[in-house]
Amino acid sequence: MLLKHQGTAPEVDQEAYVAPDATLCGAVTVARGARIMHGARLIAEGGEIRIGENVIVMQNAVVRSTESHDCRIGQRVLIGPTAHVVGATVEDGVFLATGTSVFHGSRIGRGSVVRINAVVHVNSRLEAGATVPIGWIAAGDPAQLFSPDRHEELWAVQEPLKFALTAYGVDRPLMDCMDEVTAKVSNRLASHKQDVAVG
């Protein structure tokens, strides 16, 4: 389904394929040879989403942009089932495995591999050819790699990246500001009430 959001409809090259039960909403551009598979959701909320040539977005993956973070996917990228990419730049030839999460302001270098259920944190940069192991977390610029059991070491790198500020525009710990965060997000998402199906 193609939806016009805030006056902008998706643009899909005639040589791309979008499954009938996928959703493209707003300022989404899909290039030649790309394949957007069943249940995938590409939702542009203020910023743009650009999907490069021969990109594959697998089943139930989510690709989003926000007002402050466009999402740009290079060429020959595979985004695995249930993966989540928001407001990031993914360079050419990247593999994002099943269940990966790539957050606002991050950059995934050319030819990198982010394995099953791995995370690339906000404002982090993976160098070209990097690999994030299964279930690990990449954080920092340049990114350091952390296994999930190294929380204290990870937090020392993660805290200065300011997740709440980057994702929600609130410069306080999330536990102290959920009323404000949910009100802001709710107001922003209300704009979808005006979405119109265009294809």
Instruction: Report how many domains make up the chain.
Output: 1
161: left (phi over 0), alpha (psi -120 to 50) or beta: alpha
Q: What is the pLDDT of residues 49-75, one digit of tens each?
A: 999 999 999 999 999 999 999 999 999
User: Which residue range is the domain that position 53 belongs to?
Assistant: 2-197
pLDDT for 159 equals 87
Low-confidence ranges of the chain (pLDDT < 50): none
pLDDT for 183 equals 87
Residues near 139 by beta carbon (within 8 Å), at least 6 away in sequence = 120, 121, 124, 146, 154, 157, 158, 161
pLDDT for 2 equals 95
As a whole number of angstroms, the distance between CA 140 and CA 138 comes to: 7
- The radius of gyration of the chain from alpha carbons, rounded to an integer in Å, stands at 17
**Predicted TM-score of the model (pTM):** 0.93
Asked if residue 53 lies in contact with residue 31, where contact means CB atoms within 8 angstroms, the answer is yes
- CATH code, domain carrying 189: 2.160.10.10
**Nearest of 97, 129, 136 to residue 116 by alpha carbon:** 97
